[in-house]
Structure 1
């Protein structure tokens, strides 16, 4: 029985040593080159939250695809994806734009300020007046998507296009989330897409 416990501990120790590498101390002044790992490094903290640093782009994009539920082309702006991921789950709160709660235009304005340093108009209708309109089949990650409830109705909702017909937004029935433009509700109410000038 004792041998079985020892074997299990030895196996666990070997498995852990595979994932956690130890760099021996050295007395030379030569720089130590970090070895690549499949696991992200969660040692960096920007604003109190862990910001993973990935070994390579493929691992980073795989992480975002899994967490956001979006098929990516691996050319998207990783800062945009990371920021959207950081906001996921924030509750809906009309007229607000903080992590305690945000409405749709508040979410969009905060993401654009954090990622691009751009201050957008606060309402979805004002945003629509200040973007370059693009065709639905020409949308790119970072474009804004606008919705209205029928012909002649005002724009009432805005989100950020990610890719693969998916967009991030703050919905009244769930807060910040990723949804599909192919869902019947959003397909029916989609009005237009617009591109913000980033320079």
Structure 2
């Protein structure tokens, strides 16, 4: 009888304690992967929460692209809209200021044809001839008023003289090239020197 009373008392005590000390799992318990550190970028979203945080702390991709376009437009002082023209603008801008080095074709130094061939390979996946004279032989010749972004511009010093210089046409009579007296730069076909020696445009087919 006594034993039964003691057992009943213990049972009642146990129920009472369980009532007061019942532990509910914390709602903020971290999932199994919470110990992993994630880098949140507009291009790598790992979960719904990450998506929200990415939207809170990062600009949308479209806005970032617009900012980049604005940067390159200011660097070249002209604006491009077509995808290939925009890619060309991005690429050539990174070369501006590269010093002139005869026979070279890298961002440490390049001559005019080396610059053009490097850009065409990177932007269009096209391998051009290495010299300005051979490039001129390989392209479709076009008039000055027919040139479009990405066409080549060729120069010679007079009738029956060989081609001595080549650049890439951008727009608004401006082209980018590697000049012996300044390296990679943007120049205008309206400048007296280039206006006098301009010979023809060239389109790579």
Taking structure 2 as the reference length, the TM-score comes to: 0.69
Q: Taking structure 1 as reference, are residues 54 and 171 closer, same or farther at Cα in structure 2, changes over 3 Å only? A: farther
Q: Taking structure 1 as reference, are residues 66 and 120 closer, same or farther at Cα in structure 2, changes over 3 Å only? A: same
Among 71, 76, 81, the residue aligned to 1:74: 81
For 1:194, what is the secondary structure of its paired residue? strand
Taking structure 1 as the reference length, the TM-score comes to: 0.71
Residue 63 of structure 1 and its aligned partner are, at CA, apart by 1.8
Distance between the aligned counterparts of 1:68 and 1:54, measured in 2?
Answer: 21
| 1:7-44 superposed Cα distances (whole Å, 9 cap, x missing partner) | xxxxxxxxxxxxxxx99xxxx93261644749xxxxxx
Gaps of 5+ in 2: 1-39
Q: Taking structure 1 as reference, are residues 54 and 126 closer, same or farther at Cα in structure 2, changes over 3 Å only? A: farther
In structure 1, the partner of 2:51 is 32
What is the RMSD computed on CA atoms of the aligned residues?
2.4
1:165 is the counterpart of 2:173: yes
Q: Does the CA-based 8 Å contact 1:61-1:74 persist in structure 2?
A: no
Among 99, 108, 120, the residue aligned to 2:116: 108
| 1:89-145 superposed Cα distances (whole Å, 9 cap, x missing partner) | 110001111111100000000001111111100000100111111121111100000
Higher-strand-fraction structure: 1
Aligned residue pairs total: 157
Q: Does the CA-based 8 Å contact 2:80-2:86 persist in structure 1?
A: no
Distance between the aligned counterparts of 2:62 and 2:140, measured in 1?
Answer: 34
Q: Does the CA-based 8 Å contact 1:133-1:192 persist in structure 2?
A: yes
In structure 2, the partner of 1:94 is 102
In structure 2, the partner of 1:147 is 155
In structure 2, the partner of 1:128 is 136
Instruction: Report runs of 4+ in structure 1 exceeding 6 Å deviation.
Output: none
In structure 2, the partner of 1:84 is 92
Gaps of 5+ in 1: 1-21, 39-52
Higher-helix-fraction structure: 2
1:193 is the counterpart of 2:205: no
